[in-house]
Structure 1
């Protein structure tokens, strides 16, 4: 693991119950990132409802967005800033994400202009792609993170 959940919490503001990344397994600055999330029956959205047996699709988008924000914030151009989801294009869901599965989130930075950019995202379980989307992001002009957060374990 290149980054664990604690190190990820140092990079992005999301905290329980909306922290959706358990680890980063691959990272190429300014290009791509691969992160993972382990899905359990103990997830907050599954509590108290027998009819909910899968991860809501909007949470898959949130997982992809959080992984993308790590990639963006670790890019030299956007270091020490905050990234915001600006739009969702071409979202496609092939099948449900279920408890007991580990989802792999693959993000590729495809366009960058000034304080905006585009990432192509896929969510997979094993070799099966279960979702994909193109996300647009906007980066705040103000610096918000500290220089200590620049360290990534190689």
Structure 2
């Protein structure tokens, strides 16, 4: 799955889209995605100057985005749905990720109940497992898109 197909599934956009490619999808079972970490990532400006490492929360977010793609690709309706992050258990960070790293993000389905998914995930850089977690997500219909005229003057202030 290329970036255009990912953009058709996920609502995320730069700078918060943290998936570049999907290598494998076994609907309902497992997925493998890739995030190429570059020095141009906006979070490196402050995390940390002179020693850039990808924040752990963004590693988990990348994992959640790949898991969201799995859940959406496994359903009947592949468009018009949004994955919502519900929870995280047993997150562990083993090694830092930084510029030049290619994150290989793998998730396996543990349980599905209706629109709720529980998945086990790992992120590897080469042979090193750098992160692991259990994540929960829920798939819901996307809300209608707001236009400028839909937003009240108080919301624009």
Q: TM-score, normalised by structure 2?
A: 0.84
Deviations 1:31-56 (A, max 9, x none): 11100011111111113662451000
How far has the Cα of 1:82 moved from its partner? 1.9
Name the CA shift for 1:100/1:137 in 2 (closer, same or farther; >3 Å): same
The answer on whether the counterparts of 1:120 and 1:133 sit within 8 Å (CA) in structure 2 is yes
CA distance in 2, matches of 1:88, 1:8: 23
Matches within 5 A, 1:133-148: 133-140=133-140, 142=141
The answer on whether the counterparts of 1:72 and 1:78 sit within 8 Å (CA) in structure 2 is no
Equivalent in the alignment of 1:62: 61
Matches within 5 A, 1:1-154: 3-47=1-45, 50-77=49-76, 79-80=78-79, 81-140=81-140, 142=141
Which stretches in structure 2 are left out of the alignment for 5+ residues? 144-157
Name the CA shift for 1:134/1:77 in 2 (closer, same or farther; >3 Å): farther
Which stretches in structure 1 are left out of the alignment for 5+ residues? 145-154
Runs of 4+ in 1 over 6 A off after TM superposition: none
CA distance in 2, matches of 1:101, 1:115: 33
How many residue pairs get aligned? The number is 141
